[in-house]
Amino acid sequence: YYDVQKVANSYARLQALNLFKFVNIVFKERSPVDSLPLLDCEIQLTPMKRQSYNVFLEGTNNSGNIGVGGNFSYNHKNLFHGGENLTLSVWGALKKEKLKENEIFSTTEMGAELKLVTPQFWTPIFRLAEFRRDFAPKTSISLSYSQEHTQFYRRRIASAKFGYLWRRADNKWRYNFDLVDLNYVMMPFVNEEFINGLKNEYVKSAYTDHMILSADFSAIYTDQVLNAGGSFNYFRGNLETSGNFLLGVDKLFGKKRSESGGESYYKAFGVRYAQFVKADGEYRFNHYINRINTVVYRLFLGCGYPYGNMKALPFEEAYYCGGANDIRAWQARTLGPGSYAPLDKYPNNVGDFKLEANVEYRFKLFWLLEGALFIDAGNIWNINRYENRQGTKLSSGFYKQIAVGTGAGLRLDVNFFLLRFDLGLKLHDPMQAEGQRFVLLNRNGGFNKSVFNIAIGYPF
C-alpha cells in the first residue's frame, strides 16, 4: 500500500548514496485488478560524474605569522559498482613564525589520507535488518600519514580508522562510531634546549613517542533546513576512550612493565600507549532575524582525563584556546592554561578541560560583503595531579581566569566559499596580574595587542 513516509525515506536513501544529481519518484495509476486499484512506481535518477578532483590553495596570516598551503583530492563515487566512495587527499603547508625571523618558512607540514566509505554495513556477527532499513548505516575505513617539521621538533603520525556512520531518515540526527582509531606518534627529533626549557614533566610528556588506540562515538543534531531562511539549532556530542583494551591484553598475558625516568608503564609495538577518557559537547543557536541580520550563539564544554599508563593527555587529544575559529583575540595555543604565562615563546599551551562561549552578530553590507561583530570568552585548565605550574589547575575561582576578547570582521561571500577577515581585541587577560586583567585601554590589550586572522568559512 502507498505510504508517503516510505516515499520520503526512499528519497533520503537514494540521495545519501551521493551518486545522483537528481532523484524523482513518480506514481501512475493502472487499471484495477480484481477491483484493487494499482500504482506503477517509476524512479528517475540522473547520475553524477563518477570521478572528480579538487585543488585548494590557501594563505594565512595570524598576527604576523604567515603561511601558505594546498590540498589535492581525488574522488571516485562508485569504485566497486556498489556505491563505494574512495577519496585520496594530499596536503602540505609552509608557515613563517616571528620567533625565527631569518627563515622564510620555519614550519612545514605535509600528509596524505586514503578513505573508503561503503554503503554496505560490515558486521559479521549481527544481522540487524531493522537497523539497516531505518538508519542506512555505512562502513568507513581510512589510512593516513602526516609529518610536522619545526625548529624545535619533528613529529610523524601514522593513523588507521575503522568505523560506522548512520543517520535517521529525517536527517536531523547523524552518528559516527569509530570502533578502531589507531594513531602511532613518532618524535624522531626534539630540540634538547626546547624540551629542557619546558621545565614541567606534564608538558614534556607530550613530546615523546606514544600510541593511541581508542574507540570514539559522536552524535550530531541539527534542525537546519538547507537553502531556507529561519533559526536553527546545532548540537554535537563526543565520547572517546583509549588504552583500556591494550591494558587488558597486557594484564591477561602477564606482560611486564617498562621502566624509564623513574616511571613504570606498559608498551605496545615498542612504544608507550596512552590511556584516557574524553568527552565534549558543543551547542549552537543560529537566530535568524531577517535576510540581512543574524545572531549566532555558541557554547563548548570539554574534559579529558588521563590515567593508568600515561600521566598526561597526548598533545593531539588535548584542548587549546585561541586562533581564527576560537577566541580570536589570541593566537592559537597561546592562551592558558588558567592564568599561567609561559616563559617559552613557542605556542604549545594545552589543557585537560575547556570552557568557551561565543556570540557573533552577522549582517549584510553590499555586493558580496558581510560584516560581523563578536565577543569570545573562555579558557583551558588542567585537572591532572601531575600538574604543578602556578595558576594552571581548575579551581572554584576559575571564573576569574576567563579570557574575554571582542572584535569585528569582514567577510567576502562568493557562494562556493567565504573568505573571512577578523580583528580580535583583548578585553580581559587572565595571564596578567590580578587587578590588571581588564586590558582594553592599556598596552597589554586593545589595538596594541590585536590579532588579525584570515580564514575560510565561518568560525562556527
91, 76 contact by CB (below 8 A)? no
pLDDT at residue 112 tops 70: yes
pLDDT category at 100 given cuts 50, 70, 90 is low
What pLDDT digit, counting tens, does each position of 285-341 carry?
999 999 999 999 999 999 999 988 888 888 889 999 998 899 999 988 889 899 988
Q: Which residues have CB under 8 Å from 213's CB, separation 6+? A: 180, 181, 182, 242, 243, 245, 246, 268, 273
> Cell numbers at residue 298, please?
555558541
Which residue do the cell numbers 578541560 mark?
A: 353
Alpha carbon 178 to its chain centroid, in Å, reads: 15
In the chain, DSSP finds a helix count (H) and a strand count (E) of 5, 22
Structural contact between residues 429 and 402, judged by C-beta atoms closer than 8 angstroms: no
Question: Alpha carbon of 317 to those of 242, 248, 314: distances in Å?
Answer: 11, 22, 5
Comparing 128-142, 147-161, 239-253, which segment has the lowest mean pLDDT?
128-142
Q: How confident is residue 11, by pLDDT bands cut at 50, 70 and 90? A: confident
**What is the structure's pLDDT at 454?**
85
Q: Is the pLDDT of residue 248 over 70?
A: yes
Return the pLDDT at 61: 58
Give residue-wise pLDDT tens across range 423-456: 999 999 999 988 889 998 888 888 888 998 888 8
* Residue 152 φ/ψ region, left for φ over 0, alpha for ψ in the -120 to 50 degree band, beta for the rest: alpha
Q: What is the mean pLDDT of the segment spanning 380-399? A: 87
Dihedral of CA atoms 365, 371, 372, 373 in degrees, nearest 10, equals -80
**What cell does 145 get?**
600519514
How many other β-carbons are positioned within 10 Å of the β-carbon of residue 33? 8
Question: What does the alpha-carbon distance between residue 24 and residue 376 come to, in Å, rounded to a whole number?
Answer: 45
At residue 160 the predicted structure's pLDDT band, cuts being 50, 70 and 90, is very high
Q: Could you report the per-residue pLDDT of 48-82, keeping only the tens digit for each?
A: 999 999 888 776 655 456 778 888 999 999 999 88
Q: What is the pLDDT of residue 229?
A: 78
Q: Which residue has the higher pLDDT, 344 or 229?
A: 229
- Return the pLDDT at 146: 95
Q: Are 436 and 339 in contact (CB under 8 A)?
A: no
pLDDT of residue 129: 73
- Of 303, 16, 321, 280, nearest in space to 167 by CA: 16
pLDDT at 195 over 90: no
pLDDT at 171 over 80: no
Residue 60's nearest CA partner among 413, 331, 333 is: 331
Record the cell numbers describing residue 325, joined without a space: 575559529
Lowest mean pLDDT among 1-5, 120-124, 277-281: 120-124
- Retrieve residue 1's grid coordinates: 500500500
Q: Which of 345, 339, 213 is nearest to 267 (CA)?
A: 213
- Cβ atoms of 404 and 376 within 8 Å: the answer is yes
Closest CA to 342 of 190, 198, 456, 175: 198
pLDDT class for 126, splitting at 50, 70, 90? Answer: low
What is the pLDDT, as a whole number, of residue 386? 78
Per-residue confidence (pLDDT) for residue 103, from 0 to 100:
59
CA distance 429 to 408: 18
Is 90 exceeded by the pLDDT of residue 18? no
Burial category of 434 from C-beta neighbours within 10 Å (exposed 0-12, middle 13-18, buried 19 and up) = exposed
Distance, CA of 156 to CA of 426 (rounded, Å): 35
| CA nearest neighbour of 283 among 221, 371, 327 | 221
What is the C-alpha to C-alpha distance for residues 119 and 133, in angstroms, rounded to an integer? 12
